[in-house]
């Protein structure tokens, strides 16, 4: 693609607040919270309507370079190449992308007001345990979830059969050191604030690392193997059979 043609297309897209995506052979310098340099290669570059900039290499999930929303983007000639100079004054960040060759470029106005509906989060786990307390243990009585307590972001709070207070911390994947220490912080906080002798702590997760389990037990806490729930019931009911069939197929 001709650079002069790209320059025009870029300007129109920016003026129209359209999303622009282009592939180019380029070098990239960044300076801001850190500093980086990326030598010459082919990348996909995207500028969104909110002026977020993303640079993607041919592999990997994450952008190799990026600028946050609200960044200013200026494209100009630098000899026979084009220079994309992106600046975010508020964040004191800037990027310089030298475009040696533009492979393709496209832009379009995007309309999208939808938000993702997601299940299987840590909060969903806490709600499941709130509604199915026997998953913690027989006789467990849930009191409240999350910010419903004044003692911090405790996932789930309740009493056991002998009326001892129980703090439950949920992790949707692997429970590690950090989860154990979170639990310890919460249990200690609530023990002090309520003037109790003892508070039980339970870590609920599908899995726990061996070291974290040791630390958990050293603190007198317990582990419960619990899977996060994954059911988009509202959105599934009209296509359940097909979806479940495909699930089984995998």
Partner DNA sequence: GGGGAGAGATGCCGC
Partner DNA sequence: GCGGCATTTCTCCCC
Q: Binding residues for DNA, per CB under 7 A? A: 30, 32-34, 36, 60-62, 64-68, 91, 93, 95, 116, 118, 120-123, 147, 152-153, 155, 169, 171-174, 176-179, 182, 185, 207, 209-212
19-31 vs 35-47, strand pairing mode: antiparallel
Span interacting with a copy of itself, options 76-84, 87-95, 156-164, 194-202, rule CB under 8 A: 87-95
Among a copy of itself, DNA, none, the one that 123 touches (CB under a kind-dependent 5 to 8 A) is DNA
150 binds a copy of itself (CB under 8 A): no
Encode 175-186 in three state secondary structure: ECHHHHHHHHHH
Q: How far apart are CA 204 and CA 136, in angstroms?
A: 8
Cα-Cα-Cα-Cα torsion 180, 183, 187, 188, nearest 10 degrees, comes to 60
Question: What is the separation, in whole angstroms, between the first and last Cα of the chain?
Answer: 42
Q: What residues contact 18, with CB distance under 8 A and at least 6 apart?
A: 12, 49, 107, 108, 109, 110
Task: Please report how many Cα atoms fall inside a 13 Å half-sphere around the Cα of residue 82, on the Cβ side.
Answer: 22
**Residue selected from 173, 174, 192, 193 as contacting a copy of itself according to rule CB under 8 A:** 173
196 binds a copy of itself (CB under 8 A): no
**Residue selected from 50, 77, 194, 196 as contacting a copy of itself according to rule CB under 8 A:** 50
**Interaction pattern, residues 28-47, with a copy of itself; x per rule: CB under 8 A:** -x-x-xxxxxxxxxxxx-x-
Return the bridge partners of 26, or none.
41, 99
Span interacting with a copy of itself, options 5-13, 97-105, 133-141, 159-167, rule CB under 8 A: 97-105
When computed from its CA atoms, the radius of gyration of the chain, rounded to whole angstroms, is 26
Least distance from a copy of itself to the Cβ atom of residue 136, Å = 22
Return the bridge partners of 73, or none.
86
Least distance from a copy of itself to the Cβ atom of residue 250, Å = 5
Least distance from DNA to the Cβ atom of residue 20, Å = 18
67 vs 82, beta carbon nearer DNA: 67
Q: What is the DSSP letter of 228?
A: P
132 vs 211, beta carbon nearer DNA: 211
Q: How far apart are CA 97 and CA 113, in angstroms?
A: 31
2 vs 114, beta carbon nearer DNA: 114
CA angle 39, 40, 42 (to 5 degrees): 125
219 binds a copy of itself (CB under 8 A): no
Span interacting with a copy of itself, options 51-59, 135-143, 155-163, 190-198, rule CB under 8 A: 51-59
């Amino acid at each position: 693609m001709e650079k002069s043609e790209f320059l025009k297309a870029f300007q129109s897209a920016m003026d129209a607040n359209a999303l622009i995506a282009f592939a180019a052979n380029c070098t990239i310098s960044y300076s801001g919270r850190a500093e980086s340099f990326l030598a010459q290669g082919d990348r996909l570059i995207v500028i969104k309507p909110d002026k977020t900039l993303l640079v993607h290499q041919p592999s990997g999930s994450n952008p190799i370079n990026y600028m946050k929303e609200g960044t200013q983007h200026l494209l100009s000639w630098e000899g026979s190449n084009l220079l994309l100079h992106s600046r975010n004054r508020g964040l004191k960040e800037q990027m310089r992308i030298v475009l040696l060759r533009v492979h393709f470029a496209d832009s379009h106005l995007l309309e999208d007001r939808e938000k993702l509906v997601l299940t299987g989060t840590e909060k969903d786990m806490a709600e499941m345990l709130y509604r199915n307390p026997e998953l913690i243990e027989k006789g467990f009585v849930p009191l409240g979830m999350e910010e419903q307590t004044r003692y911090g972001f405790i996932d789930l709070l309740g009493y056991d059969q002998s009326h001892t207070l129980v703090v439950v911390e949920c992790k949707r994947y692997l429970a590690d050191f950090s989860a154990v220490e979170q639990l310890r912080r919460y249990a200690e906080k609530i023990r002090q604030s309520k003037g109790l002798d003892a508070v039980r702590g339970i870590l609920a997760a599908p899995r726990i690392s061996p070291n974290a389990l040791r630390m958990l037990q050293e603190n007198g806490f317990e582990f419960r193997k619990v899977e996060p729930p994954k059911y988009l019931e509202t959105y599934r009911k009209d296509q359940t059979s097909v979806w479940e069939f495909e699930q089984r197929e995998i």
